[in-house]
Amino acid sequence: MAKRNIVIEPDPILRKKSEKLEKVDLETQKFLDDMLDTMYSAPGIGLAAVQVGVLKRLIVVDISKEDENKNPLFLINPIITQKSDKKSIHEEGCLSLPGYFAEIERPAECQVEYLDYNGNKQSLKATGLLSTCIQHEIDHLNGILFIDYLSKIKKDMIIKKLTKYKKEKDKIVL
């Protein structure tokens, strides 16, 4: 497994729509392993392929707590087939928006169809944090970030600060 660099907003790639994966092969699995490694070392509980610069519909998620066993979930070409009318609010963060958090309202439960690590068709009913996390990651595949749900003023402020943060970061790297 190898760690990949995480793309930080603002970056045009984060606004692109990811493409469906045609087949799950060894290369896909290697990439999923890299994504998981990248997510764990960040650390984060979810990561979409676009966040490491690959426009494919792939997601890794692990909402297990630090003192629990790891429980990674790989979702390839995920589709939400049902959303509950009931909403829930979670504080969300994003590895592409380091340091920013906001309470976001989403459907409390959702039904997701996807292919797993071995390319097998799966269906899952997600509730609680997992539901929020999967919806957040699928948004990434469609070029949507959680700040898009905030007011324009808040969103613009975050993007401005991140632009500054990236400039500072580049200076250090160089």
**Residues identified as active-site:** 137
Residue 73 binds Zn ion (CB under 5 A): no
Smallest distance, Zn ion to C-beta of residue 148, A: 11
Smallest distance, Zn ion to C-beta of residue 147, A: 10
Nearest to 58 by CA among 4, 108, 103, 12: 4
Smallest distance, Zn ion to C-beta of residue 94, A: 3
Q: What residues from 81 to 140 belong to the interface with Zn ion (CB under 5 A)?
A: 94
CB-closest chain residue to Zn ion = 94
Nearer to Zn ion, 48 or 108 (CB): 48
Q: Measure the CA–CA gap between 15 and 4, rounded to whole angstroms.
A: 19
Q: Measure the CA–CA gap between 134 and 164, rounded to whole angstroms.
A: 29
Contact 36, 48 (CB under 8 A): no
Nearer to Zn ion, 107 or 143 (CB): 143
Q: Measure the CA–CA gap between 78 and 170, rounded to whole angstroms.
A: 34
Please report, as ranges, the residues that interact with Zn ion according to CB under 5 A. 94
